[in-house]
Amino acid sequence: MSLLAYLSSFVLIALAIKVYLKVTTRWCQNKVCLVGKTVVVTGANSGLGYEVSLEFAKRGARVILACRNEDKAKQARDQIISETQNPNVVVKLVNMASLASIRNFASDILKSEKRLDILINNAGTGILRNEFTEDGLQVLMQVNYFGSVLLTMLLMDLLEKSSPSRIINVSSILAKQANLTKGNLNTYTGMSVCYPNSKLGLILFTMKLAKLLKTSSVSVYSLHPGVIDTNIFNNVPIVGSIITQYFAKYFFKTVEEGIQTILHTALTPGLEIYSGKHFEECDVVETYKTARDLELMETIWKETMRLIKCEEISEKLQLDAKR
């Protein structure tokens, strides 16, 4: 095949995929106003976190950008304020790879904020090396999973006080490829399993938390946002930069398309009956096979609480659920 033929095939395939994505992407239809509401978005300086923070700010919310890099976060804040004219957008620093940093962040929020209506656990990373953090936790599992769990547990009192409130856990369809056990929860399971395990962890956490919150007005959802053109692929060795530079623009969803299921779960009225469920394309979907083992859900919950030293809050939630 000549170079011209290759190029035309590439363009045709890219066009077909773009048309398919435009036709199949579901858009969050509601126009819920967020004046008087407070939202925390982790990983808010780029990709989905940035775009969803922009949308919340447009709707009048107080938006807390929870980021690890001060310069990037301030740049995001300034851009959002200048685009929305909403001055109520603030930066608070948190490194999801450090339990101490998450504890400091949460205690600052509990001291300084009167309410918390929506928590978006969005911060995440694609591939990281086989390393452990100062907390003795596998780094990718900590950033993508343990960190979000700890943050949610620490902010629970404020979420309950502000209820009806919502927690959104940004997971991934790759959770279908997970092979999670109590034994490998805190180990490096290789590039192709570690990320899926972290995302399945979030789905199991969502399911268990919803059970414990059944009698409260705090609801919790997990979701797959789609495959989106963001920085997430940058640290995938070799193919990462090829994907970002040559493919993502043509074959993946835009960030505006990518935030629709996050907006839907965070804002659509009446969704509380689906608390604990998983969403794709602004709709509840059947739980992935890997997330159907309720015994695994309990085991992973217990082991997680032990590893992040959160047993006290967990016990309190279990007692409240029994009342």
| Strands (DSSP E) found in 101-189 | 118-121, 165-170
CB–CB of 233/240 below 8 Å?
yes
Of 26, 58, 72, 316, the one binding ligand NAP (CB under 6 A) is 72
In the complex with ligand NAP, the residue whose CB is nearer, 81 or 93, is 93
Tokens 């990320």 belong to: 195
- Total residues interacting with ligand NAP, rule: CB under 6 A: 28
In the complex with ligand NAP, the residue whose CB is nearer, 60 or 240, is 240
Of 125, 133, 152, 265, the one binding ligand NAP (CB under 6 A) is 125
β-pair partners for 215: none
CB atoms within 10 A of CB 221: 26
The yes or no reply on residue 201 touching ligand NAP (CB under 6 A) is: no
Tokens 């126009």 belong to: 31
C-alpha dihedral sign at 227, 26, 172, 176: negative
Residue 196 CB, nearest approach to ligand NAP (Å): 11
Residue 227 CB, nearest approach to ligand NAP (Å): 4
Q: Please give the order of strands across the beta sheet that includes 218-224.
A: 89-93, 62-67, 38-42, 118-121, 165-170, 218-224, 278-280, 283-285
In the complex with ligand NAP, the residue whose CB is nearer, 264 or 317, is 264
CB–CB of 135/245 below 8 Å?
no
The yes or no reply on residue 46 touching ligand NAP (CB under 6 A) is: yes
Residue 59 CB, nearest approach to ligand NAP (Å): 20
CB atoms within 10 A of CB 182: 12
Catalytic residue among 145, 195, 221, 288: 195
Residue 33 CB, nearest approach to ligand NAP (Å): 25
In the complex with ligand NAP, the residue whose CB is nearer, 123 or 213, is 123
In the complex with ligand NAP, the residue whose CB is nearer, 48 or 119, is 48
Tokens 């992973």 belong to: 300
What torsion do the CA atoms of 224, 229, 235, 239 make, to the nearest 10 degrees? 110
The yes or no reply on residue 310 touching ligand NAP (CB under 6 A) is: no
β-pair partners for 119: 40, 167
Helices and strands in the chain, H and E counts: 14, 8
Q: Which stretch binds ligand NAP (CB under 6 A): 14-22, 25-33, 67-75, 276-284?
A: 67-75
The yes or no reply on residue 230 touching ligand NAP (CB under 6 A) is: yes
Respond yes or no: is residue 145 known to be catalytic: no
Report, as residue numbers or ranges, the catalytic residues. Answer: 195
Contact residues for ligand NAP, defined by CB under 6 A: 43, 45-49, 67-69, 72, 94-97, 122-125, 143, 170, 172, 224-225, 227-228, 230-232
